[in-house]
């Protein structure tokens, strides 16, 4: 992130700080009166008005009449409020998974505008081709009026990577030593900011981005697909650890030398289901149906899954003491069917002095990582990281 102290003269720095603060206030609070925004910024009405004029000139903020019927905040005639114009900017997100590519875009209020999920055989495609496919899917059907207002592209994928988007290894995709940042820049041809992130970190970030209450405290997000990815959010920010590998609970080694993700992931469940039921083919939907119908073989597989998930959560509670655990990915659909068994196994292995966190299943698991990647670009736009807000042409006229 750019250091505000290096961004010019003191009046300019103060104005830039106030622009960022105004955008964040309107995003977090929604509609605000001019007086309320001025109080949020700690400015007088005149100075706050100059900031609003700058944002309105860039079509980022608009005036709206109060149509809620709520007179509690004021007396007299209906007032005029300020809000971000949702259609003034868009942010595109993508997830390159093992079996699918998910793409979507969000508006300036971080509302999900549209998404698309397409089947994809990640093991048979090079990293460069996968990036090309994701970009083509993400931008191919965007209407021109939206495409012209895209302010960032976020890409997520299941990989160990550094902060600069360089993949050390992506075992589920067969990638190693790949510079995803460079591949994405080349494929896009420049023009818009990009950010590359591990899928679990992106999922974790997006999960709490729009929820002010969820931002407080420690949240552990587990994305259970072919493998198991983990992301940690502390007071709204991603905690990556010293090498970007924090939260990777799926790599915990069990007593039989098996990694945890090998017994929690989708492939293991389906392989076990086929073997135990002597099926030629199966699917997650079929497995879940058999668990609901209490088919003994399916219930046994689900019980093992619950026990292993409980071991992972006990380990997490002892190391990071999360307030909440959020499960994402397609395989998380099994959790509601075995939640009582997970709680039983946690109780059997967890000391009473370690409180049990709230455990929930993400309500949009299919799009979580792509949404988080888009939200990371949204956050960048509402910060000093996006210099387009501070170009000279965007500054108020002298004397304002």
The confidence score (pLDDT) of residue 251 equals 81
**Quick one: pLDDT at residue 213?**
63
Tokens of 319: 């190391």
Do the beta carbons of residue 230 and residue 251 sit within 8 Å?
Answer: no
Q: pLDDT at position 173, please?
A: 92
- Output the pLDDT for position 154: 97
Tokens 């495409």 correspond to what residue? 147
For the stretch 178-201, pLDDT in tens is 999 999 999 998 789 999 999 989
Task: Find residue 118's DSSP bridge partners.
Answer: 101
Nearest C-alpha neighbor of 189 from the set 149, 230, 136, 227 = 136
Q: Which domains does the chain have, with CATH numbers?
A: 4-84 (1.10.10.10), 88-205+368-381 (3.30.420.40), 213-362 (3.30.420.40)
Q: Identify the pLDDT of residue 391.
A: 57
Residue 110's CB: how many other CB atoms inside 10 A? 19
Q: Is 291 left (phi over 0), alpha (psi -120 to 50) or beta?
A: alpha
- Long-range contacts of the stretch 132-135 (C-beta < 8 A, 24+): 132/187, 133/96, 133/101, 134/94, 134/96, 134/101, 134/103, 135/94, 135/184, 135/187, 135/188
| Segments in the chain below pLDDT 50 | 1-8, 76, 392-400
Q: State residue 301 phi and psi, 5-degree precision.
A: -65, -45
- Distance CA(45)–CA(141), nearest Å, equals 43
Per-residue model confidence (pLDDT) at position 216: 76
CA nearest to 17, candidates 35, 45, 41? 41
Q: What is the pLDDT of residue 386?
A: 62
Contact assessment for residue 56 and residue 19, using Cβ atoms and an 8 Å cutoff: no
**pTM exceeds 0.85 for this model:** no
Measured CA to CA, the distance from residue 89 to residue 386 in angstroms comes to 13
Q: Note the pLDDT tens digit of each residue in 134-168.
A: 999 999 989 999 999 999 999 999 998 888 889 99
Can you tell me the distance from the alpha carbon of 284 to that of 57, in angstroms, rounded to the nearest whole number? Answer: 51
pLDDT of residue 275: 94
């Amino acid at each position: 992130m750019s250091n505000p102290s290096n961004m010019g003269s003191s009046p300019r720095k103060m104005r830039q700080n106030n622009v960022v603060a105004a955008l964040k206030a309107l995003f977090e609070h929604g509609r605000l009166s001019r007086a309320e925004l001025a109080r949020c910024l700690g400015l007088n009405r005149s100075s706050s008005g100059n900031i609003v004029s700058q944002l309105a000139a860039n079509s980022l903020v608009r005036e709206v009449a109060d149509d809620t019927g709520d007179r509690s905040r004021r007396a007299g005639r209906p007032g005029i409020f300020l809000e971000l114009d949702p259609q003034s900017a868009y942010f595109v997100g993508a997830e390159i998974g093992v079996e699918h590519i998910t793409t979507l875009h969000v508006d300036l209020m971080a509302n999900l505008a549209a998404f698309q999920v397409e089947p994809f055989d990640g093991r048979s495609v090079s990293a460069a081709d996968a990036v090309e496919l994701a970009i083509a899917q993400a931008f191919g059907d965007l209407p021109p009026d939206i495409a012209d207002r895209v302010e960032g592209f976020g890409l997520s994928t299941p990989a160990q990577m550094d902060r600069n988007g360089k993949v050390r290894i992506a075992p589920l995709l067969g990638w190693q030593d790949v510079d995803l940042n460079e591949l994405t820049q080349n494929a896009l041809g420049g023009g818009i900011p990009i950010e590359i992130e591990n899928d679990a970190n992106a999922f974790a970030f997006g999960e709490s981005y729009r929820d002010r209450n969820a931002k407080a405290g420690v949240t552990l997000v587990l994305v259970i697909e072919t493998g198991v990815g983990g992301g940690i959010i502390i007071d709204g920010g991603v905690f990556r650890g010293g090498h970007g590998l924090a939260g990777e609970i799926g790599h915990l080694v069990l007593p039989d030398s098996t990694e945890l993700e090998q017994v929690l992931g989708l492939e293991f469940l389906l392989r076990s289901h086929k073997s135990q039921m002597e099926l030629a083919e199966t699917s997650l939907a079929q497995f879940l149906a058999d668990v609901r119908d209490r088919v003994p073989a399916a219930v046994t597989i689900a019980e093992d899954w619950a026990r292993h998930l409980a071991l992972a959560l006990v380990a997490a509670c002892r190391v990071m003491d999360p307030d909440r655990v959020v499960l994402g990915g397609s395989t998380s659909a099994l959790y509601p069917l075995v939640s009582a068994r997970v709680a039983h196994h946690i109780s059997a292995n967890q000391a009473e002095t370690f409180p049990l966190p709230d455990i929930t299943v993400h309500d949009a698991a299919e799009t979580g990582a792509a949404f988080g990647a888009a939200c990371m670009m949204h956050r960048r736009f509402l910060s000093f990281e996006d210099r387009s807000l501070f170009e000279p042409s965007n500054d108020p006229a002298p004397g304002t």
